[in-house]
Amino acid sequence: MSRILATGITEFRISFRNRWVLIATGMMVLFALVLAAAGSAPTGDVGVDRLSVTVASLTSLAVYLVPLLALLMSFDAVAGEVERGTLPLLLTYPVSRLEILLGKLLAHLAILALAVTLGYGAALVVAIWSDPGAIEGIGSLWRLIWSSVLLGATFLGAGYALSALARRPSGAAGLAIALWLVAVVLYDLSLLALIVTDGGGAFTTQALPIALLANPADAFRVFNLSAGEAVAAAGGIGGAAGAVPLWQSATSLFAWPLLAIALALAAFRKVTP
Amino acid sequence: MTPTLTISRLTKHFHSVEALNQVSLSLQPGKRAALLGHNGAGKSTMMKIILGLIPFDSGDVTVCGEAPGSAAARMQVAYLPENVAFHPALTGEEQIRHYLSLRGENPRNAPELLARVGLAHAARRRIGTYSKGMRQRVGLAQTLIGRPRLLVLDEPTSGLDPVSRRDFYDLLDGLSADGTTILLSSHVLTEVEARTDSILILSGGQLVAEGTLADLRARAALPIMLLVRPAAAHAAPLAAAFPEAVVGADGLLRISCAQAQKLPLLARITARGADVADFDVIPPSLEDIYSHFSRRDGQ
């Protein structure tokens, strides 16, 4: 445990020096503020408090931004150590590969948690400033924060796995961007295309819920939208959120980080320095 | 005494290339052994196997009574890789604190460790600003953590100036006096000659020679060179008395002789009396012995 903590502290320090803390927080705050400002224009004909509406749009933001930040922070984790030549020495220390990965995860999760808390917090301030009643939606904001951290953990683990597979930072960066495009952008586009062609048939009722749960980003979106009261405020894939029970999306949200870390460990074990 | 390191019939292939072939050796506690060999002779491969970083094909390796790379072995072994590298964004002190924590030691000892390798003044600067020699010292500092029983040092003195090299070997002397076994590779033969107990020569993946310098010198049986300086105006009679000598442009007579002929030759030289102004005996250098053993394999 102390070795995980020591690795985490060192990794956090490195990320801080590399401006990653600043970049991640800056991006989250900026985008959250833009969304909060845009969301405060129409008045409450949705019938819920303003914060819940903001949370619905923040969810759509987080689906894109949190995986991106997580992959950007993690793609260098193993490949960078290989390229710098720091890995052989590290592996002669009495620290297991799992402890090394968990230490890095701890640091990167702390940065993500800080970034989303500050970002969503900024949106909260804006929402309460324009409508004091918005405080009622604080529960959904809290849910958004911890589920964002879980979503981040999944993509951090995936990033470590790609980093260990590629063994070179340039290759790992390419794989990370490809994963982001496929998992976050193309997956949803293909689902939408299938829904349109299916026209409410067997695919939409049977396969779609499973397809949504199988992708951590969609599970995150479905979880936050169906848990919140603002499903109606969300469009697109989010509209299907009602079809998936809450416990299923929550299970997917909790299971994915474990699976991703297991994959990362398996890939890291194959790296010989 | 149980050896700190035992290797028997170790063999390792990289695809079709034989990196190590039937290598056997053992190192007792407190011994300092130098591993010599050309580039590609298998030195780094052997070190990585001892550390458990890479697997091997056949043979047995025991490190401090444990399997190489096991958690128990890693607790007792310290390593300095060739061209040691660290994250440039960390300071020397932060890096050493991290390594101390990983070994379960108190991170507050970092400044003291850095002072031992002469880096106290730069402890709070980022490693990215360090010279190669300074990074090498950070590498040395991390090997001193937690009194290891086996030190594996790959080219430890590369990038160090002569004074730092001397300080470094003084550090090693102190460690080996406390019972730490040291295995180091080096290209600088003169320092290895003076500061290690035994020499291991690897050539083409095979251990071609093993022993103290005196052992190897006797086994190689290389000729000794005697340099004789004639007294003024006595050069011609002296050269006539030693027809086997080669007279150099500097006027010195160079006589090559086998070990067993050394004393009789000395007697002949001293018998010349006033003809001889001075003479020197030059034993075969470690370079000569090293080339002798590593060439035997057809290299």
Domain map (residue ranges) of chain A? 2-269
Q: Which tens digit of pLDDT belongs to each residue from A93-117?
A: 999 999 999 999 999 999 999 999 9
* CATH number where B86 lies: 3.40.50.300
Q: Which tens digit of pLDDT belongs to each residue from B18-44?
A: 888 888 999 999 899 999 888 878 888
**What whole-number distance in Å separates Cα of residue A92 and Cα of residue B68?**
10
Identify the CA nearest to B213 among candidates B201, B203, B202: B201
pLDDT at position A145, please? 94
* CATH number where B250 lies: 3.30.70
Do residue B151 and residue B268 come from a single domain? no
Do residue B154 and residue B249 come from a single domain? no
Q: Name the DSSP class of A189.
A: H
Do residue B255 and residue B129 come from a single domain? no
In this prediction, residue B50 has a pLDDT band, given cuts at 50, 70 and 90, of: very high
Tokens, residue A246: 């809450």
Indicate if the pLDDT at residue A236 is higher than 70: no
Q: Beta strand pairing status for B5-14 and B17-27?
A: antiparallel
Tell me if B53 and A94 make a contact (CB, 8 A cut-off): no
pLDDT at position A69, please? 94
Asked if the structure places residue B62 within a domain, the reply is: yes
Identify the CA nearest to A134 among candidates A53, A30, A229, A221: A53
Q: Is the separation of the CB atoms in A88 and A176 below 8 Å?
A: no
Do residue B236 and residue B103 come from a single domain? no
Q: How many Å lie between the alpha carbon of B136 and the closest alpha carbon of chain A?
A: 13
Do residue B241 and residue B100 come from a single domain? no
Tell me if A3 and B102 make a contact (CB, 8 A cut-off): yes
Which of B77, B90, B101 lies closest to A14 in CB terms? B90
Asked if the structure places residue B294 within a domain, the reply is: no
List chain B residues with CB under 8 Å of A272. Answer: 53-55
pLDDT at position B299, please? 44
Q: How many Å lie between the alpha carbon of A108 and the closest alpha carbon of chain B?
A: 16
List chain A residues with CB under 8 Å of B78. Answer: 92
Which residue out of A87, A93, A270 would a mutagenesis test of the B interface target, given it has the greatest number of B Cβ atoms within 10 Å? A93
Q: Diameter of chain A by CA atoms?
A: 63
Which of A7, A13, A91 lies closest to B90 in CB terms? A13
Q: Which of B200, B218, B236 is the last residue of a domain?
A: B218
Cβ neighbours, 10 Å, residue B211: 14
Arithmetic mean of pLDDT, B77-88: 92
Q: How many Å lie between the alpha carbon of A207 and the closest alpha carbon of chain B?
A: 46
Q: In chain B, what percentage of residues exceed pLDDT 70? A: 98
Q: Which of B218, B244, B262 is the last residue of a domain?
A: B218
Count residue pairs from A and B with Cβ separation < 8 A. Answer: 73
Q: Which residue range forms the structural domain that includes residue B75?
A: 5-218
Asked if the structure places residue B206 within a domain, the reply is: yes
Report field, pTM of the whole predicted structure over 0.95: no
User: What is the total count of domains within chain B?
Assistant: 2
Do residue B210 and residue B110 come from a single domain? yes
Let me know the angle formed at the C-alpha of A119 by A117 and A125, rounded to the nearest 5 degrees: 95
Arithmetic mean of pLDDT, B58-73: 90
The rounded mean pLDDT for chain B is 87
Q: Which of B218, B242, B266 is the last residue of a domain?
A: B218
Indicate if the pLDDT at residue B129 is higher than 80: yes
Whether residue B51 lies within 8 A of chain A, CB to CB, comes out as yes
Do residue B243 and residue B176 come from a single domain? no
Q: How many Å lie between the alpha carbon of A209 and the closest alpha carbon of chain B?
A: 45
pLDDT at position A60, please? 87
- B214: which residues sit within 8 A by CB, 6+ positions away? none
The rounded mean pLDDT for chain A is 87
Indicate if the pLDDT at residue A134 is higher than 80: no
Tell me if A93 and B104 make a contact (CB, 8 A cut-off): no
Asked if the structure places residue B288 within a domain, the reply is: no
Do residue B112 and residue B151 come from a single domain? yes
Lowest-confidence region among A37-46, B173-182, B285-294: A37-46
pLDDT at position A10, please? 94
Do residue B86 and residue B158 come from a single domain? yes
Identify the CA nearest to B50 among candidates B8, B100, B14, B1: B8
Distances (CA, A) of A157 to A16, A165, A174, A242: 20, 12, 16, 29
Q: How many Å lie between the alpha carbon of A268 and the closest alpha carbon of chain B?
A: 13
Do residue B130 and residue B201 come from a single domain? yes
Do residue B69 and residue B185 come from a single domain? yes
Q: Which tens digit of pLDDT belongs to each residue from B262-290?
A: 888 888 888 888 888 888 888 887 778 88
Do residue B62 and residue B181 come from a single domain? yes
Asked if the structure places residue B289 within a domain, the reply is: no
Q: In chain B, what percentage of residues exceed pLDDT 90? A: 35
Look-up: residue for tokens 């102390």?
A: A2
Indicate if the pLDDT at residue B250 is higher than 50: yes
Distances (CA, A) of A237 to A63, A178, A229, B258: 12, 21, 16, 91
**What whole-number distance in Å separates Cα of residue B3 and Cα of residue B104?**
26
Asked if the structure places residue B124 within a domain, the reply is: yes
Distances (CA, A) of B5 to A73, B21, B60, B143, B178: 41, 18, 11, 17, 16
Please state the length of chain B: 299
Asked if the structure places residue B293 within a domain, the reply is: no
